[in-house]
Homo-oligomer: A and B are copies of this chain.
Amino acid sequence: MLRGQMMDRPLLTTSILRHAALYHGSTAVTSRFGQEPKHSYTYRDAWDRVQQLANVLTRLGIKAGSRVGTLAWNDFRHFELYYAVPAIAAVCHTVNPRLFPEQLIYIINHAQDEYLFVDPMFVPLIEKLWPNLNGVKGVVVMTSPDFMPKQTGLPNLLCYETLMAEAAEGFEFPEFDENTACGLCYTSGTTGNPKGVLYSHRSAVLHAYGFLTAPGISVTTSDAALVVVPLFHANAWGYPYAAAIAGAKLVFPGPKLDGKSVYELMEEEQVTVSSGVPTVWLGLLAHMRQSGAKFSTLKSVTVGGSAMPKAMLEEFELTHGVTCMQGWGMTEMSPVGTIGALNPEQQKLPVAEQHEAKLKAGRALFGVEMKIIGPDGSEQPRDGESYGELVVRGPWITSGYYNDEAANRGAFTEDGWFRTGDVATIDETGAMAIVDRAKDVIKSGGEWISSIDLENAAMGFEGVQEAAVIGVPHPKWQERPLLVVVPRTGASIGKAELMAYLERHVAKWWLPDDIVFVDDLPHSATGKLLKVELRRRFANHPLPGIQAAE
């Protein structure tokens, strides 16, 4: 083996903002707030402030390896923490303030955050959590003195701008190993404790490069990017890094994400690109319909977090002329894994077929390896038909949850691929489509049946308000699908008619072995269908025909 003779220079997020200051120095970073007036400065200003903030952090006793928590919306101060904390080799731990108090307490204690940086609106929340927090030395409110809470029960409540005003300018940032941790983000599933993903400087830089070079992504020096995805949500898809590399203008919306606010901000700041969850886009599109407004600069939106509804795609592209794409990823993946852009051949298809293709999650970024595997771990064909569990690998994918041996059990294949927990197909063009959650797919005689596809088929039948499909144990087939249906109020659904309808829409061996009608289905507090609970309830449901077979 011969070693190349290239400089051994580390990939550090600090270099990103330094680069932006030197080469995109006059480009704007603008912020909206709940209370404070609008704020706008440049990448050059941000770089100066980040150096000052590093002096603040140092004075607070933050050291290499220290965790610093944030509970904040998207604005320039949160952006400054994104750079200043990792720049001194500490870890920026973004906490989702919308989690349940018990989850917040678990997360902050598990991460051992030394300080919390929070928006003024979250001070009451922190006051409530405070008695249960271990080791947090103080709380810095991310605002100016004017907007500080008038009184507080917190022992050490500091003001961000006061600390900044007292801090020296300039900071000689250290250089260190690119594998040093830079960020921490917890992901919470439906069961168990939240799990921490610990990003490195290397992974953050490579992810930004990978995102910017993905087909369909256009974040350039001529663009203005509205960061709708929260900075506490898996690095806001890496926008704070990617936009600074590309020299795109950054627009931070603060807490107001209703349709009207998002639209007005887009127009005011001449936003060209944005990424967000479907909820935000539904609100925006509703506002557009109601107000009859038009986008004057918006070119492209990416939809992530959950599947893009077809109606949303059509409304963005056909009504508004805005390119709409899916992005798929996970907190464990920094987060972006695929982008659902069309390849040149697909771009020549009729619009309806383009839209069919766009309903897939898309093709991998360069840097992400993905494949689908069968129950025995063998790779399944990339034919767009075969199902398999989706596993991924790459330099910006987790190698294990932070301080959590229990969570790591079963999280990886034997040869080190991360198990996404999704069942998917991959087609000849490399486009991946999520079929189901691995734990929800019905394993029938060695083949897999998508509960989601069956549910969607059942939802098409008149009178069905909600449908859920679960696997129930079967002596011969291991599992067979059971369809649980909530009829619309006043509707009466015939089991035979519904079965006949399904027969016309899914493969014969997919047909549920039974249909049960119920008054309602169990949901979580956030509205998610609780299939675990449903499986428990129907664990002993007698499938017709089994008695006879035995």
Contact = CB atoms under 8 A, between A and B. Distances in A.
A382 B245 CA distance: 20
A395 interface: yes
A180 B397 CA distance: 23
A548 interface: no
Interface stretch (A321-329, A338-346, A485-493, A524-532): A338-346
A63 to B, nearest CB: 10
Contacts of A203: 4, 6
30 contacts: A1-B89, A2-B91, A3-B179, A3-B200, A4-B182, A4-B201, A4-B202, A6-B203, A6-B334, A6-B399, A7-B397, A8-B399, A9-B395, A11-B206, A19-B364, A19-B366, A22-B382, A23-B366, A24-B343, A25-B428, A25-B430, A26-B345, A26-B429, A209-B210, A212-B212, A213-B245, A215-B247, A216-B221, A221-B341, A222-B347
A9 B393 contact: yes
Most buried by B among A26, A206, A247, A402: A247
A79 B215 CA distance: 22
A550 to B, nearest CB: 47
Nearest to A182: B4
Give the size category of A's interface with B: 35 or more
Interface in A196-227: 197-203, 206, 209-210, 212-213, 215-216, 220-222
Contacts of A11: 206, 395
A267 interface: no
A542 interface: no
A345 B247 CA distance: 12
Given A7-B416, A8-B179, 5 more contacts: A2-B89, A4-B201, A6-B334, A213-B213, A247-B343
A18 to B, nearest CB: 8
Contacts of A15: 366, 369
A426 to B, nearest CB: 9
B430 A5 contact: no
A96 B297 CA distance: 48
